[in-house]
Structure 1
Amino acid sequence: MFRKVLEDSKREVSGKNAKEYVSEIIKFHRIQVTEGYNKAASLCKKIFEENGIETEILEYDSDGKKMYLGFLSPEGWSIKKGILRIDDKEYANFEKESISVIQRSIPFKGEVDLIYAEKEEDFKKGYLVFTHDFKKGKDFARNYGCLGIVTDENRSKFDAPDSLQYLSFWGEKLFGFVISPREGEKLEKELKKGKKKTYVEIESSFFPSKMKIVSAKIEGEKDEEIILISHLCHPKPGGNDNASGVGLSLEIARVLKKFKKPKRGIRILLVPEVHGTAAFISENRNFLCGLNLDMVGENQFLCNSPLLIEKTPDATPFFGNYLLQEILEEVKKEVSNFQNTFKYPLFMSSVTPFSGGSDHWILSDPTVGIPTPMLIHWPDKFYHTSFDTIDKVDEKELKRVGVIATTYLYFIANMGKKEAEWLARLVTQRAKQRILESSDIDYTVEIEKKNLDSIKRMENIDVENLKKEIEDLSNFERKNIKVKEKKIKKGIIPKRKFIGPISLSKTLLEMPLNEKKKFTEKMEKYKDFKGTLELAVFWADGNRNIYEISKNVKNEIGKVNTDFLIWYFEFLEKHDLIDIER
């Protein structure tokens, strides 16, 4: 049903064009609410308009005080100079390497003593501290009156020991620098012999400003829209994260403009990640669905990074998850075996449950109600490092993802009754397969019926007969397996207070160190279950108790710790982020 759109997309989408856009975007240091970000936004607006696409830049107050949904807007930040010199050796220079300064550092100039801190009691008032652990180090530095920190924290230290990690302060009034793991190993040995005289010069400032969002529109026949979203922010270079998503969005828009006008409009948003989406959605929620492009150009062999479809959460059922999978299966038919009897891909890919961590997190929240899957590559050896450069971006991969995304967007935007009925059959087919594999048939049937209902947001078709097919299969399966039913205990019933995901950034920033340490220790103890928390919050509608929520989370991703969920909901209640009925 979508094959004509797929073939048109294969013919029109240019990975070369997309990579050229990426190469222009990475020239800017694109930290949120900064001059570099604003210049990149202006460039993108210019490219959209050159391709005949109506575009505007939306502005939202951003001063470190104003909240959008549950998210604190960042202050404007400017930096002109950032230098770290130890024993006359230059370890960091912002002009040479933007990531070498911890982003949003406060201004400072002068000579200070640098010491090594291996544990909490090593953090001393009035010193600059070298630490391997940025997250704990910044909290200890704030609490004990340290001037700032130097860190070699790096998630890619074994793959790229000479790279620098992108790190940022978010409200902590400190300055800091990033050095490579290789330099950090040497510096630790030197500091164990004694403190070092260090020269620091950071010329920076904070001020009330505006968050800017690039908003472009492919016009449709109806007054309905779907969203294509990518975050424009991140430090220079930020090739795959996320100049690739933005560059590909620009190319997709160019192609969509050439296609016949669809029934529904397509809104392309380039945003400061999460904060910009929260600001936009606080005023605009009348969208049918979306797609998020984040890290979509990886050279898979250099980055060791498969292409993923990340589905919407089960709490926000959506037919588009299955549509994306079906399109991916077609795109995977790249080459044939020797006798031309079978086709297979030359790239790695997978389909995963919802995980969050990007703009689809906000859009797919049930209280927002804009179901938005994501296309992403994960993991990536060079993620958030200075080595996320243009050579890691592959124009062939950009084309693959561009074809998938363009096909998905145009098919949904132009969907009529015939397409909707075909899609309903596809959803039913996939639903039956999922029921046969399910450990909880009742849960699966509930979700799959809602997946069918989600099609009716686009076209008001009758899906009752298809629901009956699903019910008939589930009844047959129930007779063939013994389902152990647990009695659902009466217990705490959490209910959300706000629209959108729960942000803990303001709460943690204001929390006393001892309490924050307990929080961090708990999260570390249950780190394998951290991803269950957001899914649990999605189900907190004031109707389900904690045991029902726990069961739903386990059905969705295969694991849960109910005691951990209870602790988390009580933590949220304590900080006035959720209500609990007992």
Structure 2
Amino acid sequence: IQRSVAFEGEAEVVVLEDGEEESEYEGLDLSGKIVLTQGDVSRVRELAVEKYGAVGILFDGMRKAPPVRERIDLPDALQYTSFWWRGGEQRCFGFVLSPREGDRLRALIRKQAQDGGEPVRVRAMVDARLYDGSLEVVTALIPGKTEEEIIVVAHLCHPQPSANDNASGVATALEIARALQRLISAGRLAPPRRGIRFLWVPEITGTFAYLAAHETEIPRVIAGVNLDMVGQNQELCGSSFLIERPPAATPSFAPDLMERLREELFDGAPSHTGLGSYPLFRHAVTPFSGGSDHYILSDPSVGVPTPMLIQWPDKFYHTSEDTLDKVDPAMLAHVGSLAATYAYFLAVAGPQETTWLGHEMVTRHKARLGRVLQQAMTEMLTLEDGEKLARLAADLERRVAYLVGRECEALDTLRRLWPEGDALIADLQHEVTIAAEHELDRVRAALVQRVSALGLDALPPVARPEPDEWTTRAGAMIPRRRYPGPASWRDHQHLLSPEERERWRKLVKAREKGGRTLPILAQYWADGERTVLEIADLVEMETGQRDVELLVEHFRLLAKMGLVELD
């Protein structure tokens, strides 16, 4: 296990189910022993080592990646696993076993226990030391005529082999830089108006480091793209190519541009009549979920809208079988062409390109809005309860207002490309507002007909639910972020009491969806003026999920860690 500390000796092995709950340790004597677990190594270390005296960990787990990977699918692979030392904790060593070797060891331990034999012991030797090091943050620049920049980022870290995660992104960024520079030098592409900055960084920490060292330059960065796991052979890995949009709290022209270029470049093969075309690989667009360098850049407090290009899921993700034979050169070419075109378009964009992009954004917004309204129409025509109809109508009005507001703010960002484009932007924003009202009128008319068909004189008023404890607390809490960039729980949770850490762990674990993503999105919406209740409303608009208790606790604990202030 990465960052293991030095150890040499023998110790008995004790099997845990997963070792994440206190109840598993009742009646166990772990002092001086090694535990075998498939659970979260950080949590197991906290309990087995820190609290109950174990000296090391054997990990034979395999993270599931539905629907392409269960533990049984990679019996001889090793899962990428690491300790993360923050200071003050009880450190230990550990080894990763393949599922097959883990099962063999578990069977041996069971047999010894059943036969009344001696406990199984292992001999371990770790030759390691911890020392002050440095981060390698590599950067290159294709200079522009101005000081403005577009960022192309790919993370360098992860243990070998990690071919797709993320040698594929690193290599693609290198090839983009080489190809663009060659075309510009040969006069086949015009020198860009804005520079194109390439970053190769340790994931997340390297982006924090670069931004901290160049804080005064951040306002000059117009947009970015993150290349992470982009080369998968889809037949082997089970992956789909995804464009992950930036968070809604950072509205921008960037995702619509990337989506349009995808459609332009990914047509692929012609149909049998030659009258149409289709891609020969899977691809889609997904909402923001974070987890890589774009989650820092796209934070509104940083303000660099950065779509991520990624392949997911991946059967071999974070294992010793993420090797070069899983990489598809044709896929690297597809992704490289897309990212290079995106970066160069933004680097040269002026009035003409901005005008085209603005109209493209409005066209796509209308299509998204139309889908939302048609879905509401579908639900409306199936409801036979007046109260549910009234609630649907009220929710739809709120959602359309939210979508129009987000789109108008996204159109505002076109000024980054064309500062004199006020008239264009105003016209497009007016068109968005008028189009939304027109479409809403159509749904309102259908709603009137539905009410009449149900024999109702009118819709009943929508009853407001009585505020509970969490709603009341959320309405009285205004978080103010103290630092730019998303707050890192991992780096600061040691400042909380064990009871607070345990409560938060259980809150997150109890939620099948959104337990980790909703708090990140909530941070993005925290502007120092919104209450947590208003933030919860916006997160619900963005994700369809509402969890006021989770967000109240999130901001309360961030305040205890000194990362936000609460009014």
Q: Same fold (TM over 0.5)?
A: yes
Matched, 1:573 2:480: no
CA contact (8 A) 2:266 2:334 kept: no
Q: Deviations over 1:422-453 (max 9, x none)?
A: 11111111122223334411111111011111
Q: Which of 114, 130, 144 is the matching residue for 2:36?
A: 130
> Could you tell me which residue of structure 2 aligns to residue 282 of structure 1?
212
Instruction: Say which SS state the counterpart of residue 206 (structure 1) adopts.
Output: coil
Contact 1:312 1:353 in 2 (8 A): yes
- Pairwise CA distance, 1:132: 1.6
**3-state secondary structure, aligned to 1:270:** strand
Amino acid at match of 1:477: E
Deviation at 1:181, TM superposition (A): 1.0
What residue in structure 1 maps to residue 6 of structure 2?
107
Two-structure CA RMSD over aligned residues (Å): 1.9
Match of 2:174 among 242, 250, 265: 250
Number of equivalenced pairs: 480
Question: What CA distance in whole angstroms lies between the structure 2 residues aligned with 1:123 and 1:324?
Answer: 56
Shift of 1:278: 0.5
* Between structures 1 and 2, the one with greater strand share: 1
1:361 aligned partner, one-letter code: Y
Q: Is contact 1:496–1:579 with CA below 8 Å preserved after alignment?
A: yes
Mapping of 1:269-418 within 5 angstroms?
269-284=199-214, 285-286=218-219, 287-418=221-352
State how far apart, in whole Å, the 1-side matches of 2:301 and 2:325 are. 40
Match for 2:501 among 501, 516, 526? Answer: 516
Aligned partner letter, 2:45: K
1:133-532 matched pairs, under 5 angstroms: 133=39, 134-140=41-47, 141-155=49-63, 156=69, 157-171=71-85, 173-192=91-110, 193-194=112-113, 195-260=119-184, 261-284=191-214, 285-286=218-219, 287-438=221-372, 439=396, 440-460=399-419, 461-462=421-422, 463-481=425-443, 490-509=475-494, 511-530=496-515, 531-532=517-518
CA distance in 2, matches of 1:557, 1:516: 26
The offset of 1:518, in angstroms, is 2.5
Distance 1:178 1:510 in 2: 29
8 A contact 1:434–1:444 mirrored in 2:
no
Structure 2 length-normalised TM: 0.81
Between structure 1 and structure 2, the one with the greater Rg is 2
Bigger RCO of structures 1 and 2 (CA < 8 A, at least 6 apart): 1
The runs of 5 or more residues in structure 2 that have no matched partner are: 18-23, 64-68, 114-118, 185-190, 373-395, 448-460, 465-470
Q: Deviations over 1:166-195 (max 9, x none)?
A: 000000511100001111112112223353
What secondary structure sits across from 2:365 in the alignment? helix
Q: Percent identity?
A: 40
Gaps of 5+ in 1: 1-101
Between 1:541-550 and 1:485-494, the stretch displaced more is 485-494
User: Secondary structure of the equivalent of 1:464?
Assistant: helix
SS of equivalent to 2:136: strand
2:531 match? 545
1:512 is displaced (CA, Å) by 4.9
CA contact (8 A) 1:233 1:242 kept: yes
Letter in 1 for 2:76: D
Q: Post-superposition shift, 1:381?
A: 0.8
| Residue pair 2:15, 2:37 contacting (<8 A) in 1 also | yes
User: 2: distance between equivalents of 1:292 and 1:457?
Assistant: 20
Cα distance change of structure 1 residues 338 and 437 upon mapping to structure 2, 3 Å threshold: closer
Kept in 2: contact 1:314–1:556 (CA 8 A): yes
For residues 393-431 of structure 1, what are the alpha-carbon distances to aligned partners after superposition, in whole Å with 9 as ceiling and x for unaligned?
100100110110011011110111100111111111112
Q: Distance between the aligned counterparts of 1:273 and 1:221, measured in 2?
A: 30
1:16-165 paired onto structure 2 within 5 Å = 102-118=1-17, 119-121=24-26, 122=28, 124-133=30-39, 134-140=41-47, 141-155=49-63, 156=69, 157-165=71-79
Kept in 1: contact 2:493–2:561 (CA 8 A): no
> For residues 532 and 367 of structure 1, do their structure 2 counterparts lie closer, same or farther at Cα, with a shift above 3 Å needed?
same
CA–CA distance in structure 1, aligned partners of residues 179 and 508 of structure 2: 45
Once residues 527 and 174 of structure 1 are traced to their aligned partners in structure 2, the CA distance between those partners, rounded to angstroms, is 31
List per-residue Cα deviations over 1:289-313 (Å, max 9, x = no partner). 1110000000011100000000111
Q: Which amino acid aligns with 1:169?
A: F
Q: 3-state SS of the aligned residue for 1:212? A: coil
In 1: Cα distance, 2:560 partner to 2:325 partner:
48
- Could you tell me how far apart the structure 2 residues matched to 1:452 and 1:109 are? 62
